[in-house]
Structure 1
């Protein structure tokens, strides 16, 4: 599987098919690092200077760079997850405090029949 095929499957919402292929799984893991700072850190870790400057180009280049192994990708994901989790843990008590203040939790209707989108747009994004 090449990058274009993986990208096409991702855009077609064929996530299950991607996850069943080693290169598809690699693509999905790299997609989880699709912020510029994460991809740049990935290249720094393996001491490779990427040719591309765009996020899409960095993603493609990371996918095709042999020195960026599964172990490196997993380690980078763990590193950034740990940092993000530490930040969120400091904010959790305030979130719980705000939730206890609610008398009624009105879920409302579904936005374009998408429960996940409705939850994110109306409840997650509005609560810091």
Structure 2
């Protein structure tokens, strides 16, 4: 089965109404057009950014909002734990280049996903 893979967690992917944990203007940088998520970084119950590996397989956080020094320090500690876990291995992820460059994620398959289908956030 290989090593670890970067993938979204059940909360990130399990709820169509993401308004309670993701500001709508940040959505195109973290989700593609069909609702697939990048590997996310959560702060205080909401998505604050994503993470990606650089050319040397070091984990880098791409913040999509302002985060205080204390949270950045805690995120750096989590990055250190993740890097120790993957032991320098490249973790395959679909949107690594777009994330690294801070670009919006691409449209895929011609199907536009809309968070507005269930804005209540009450379930899939």
TM range (shorter): under 0.3
Structure number with greater CO (CA < 8 Å, separation at least 6) is 2
In the superposition, the TM-score normalised over structure 1's length comes to 0.24
In the superposition, the TM-score normalised over structure 2's length comes to 0.24
Larger Rg: 1
More strand by share: 2
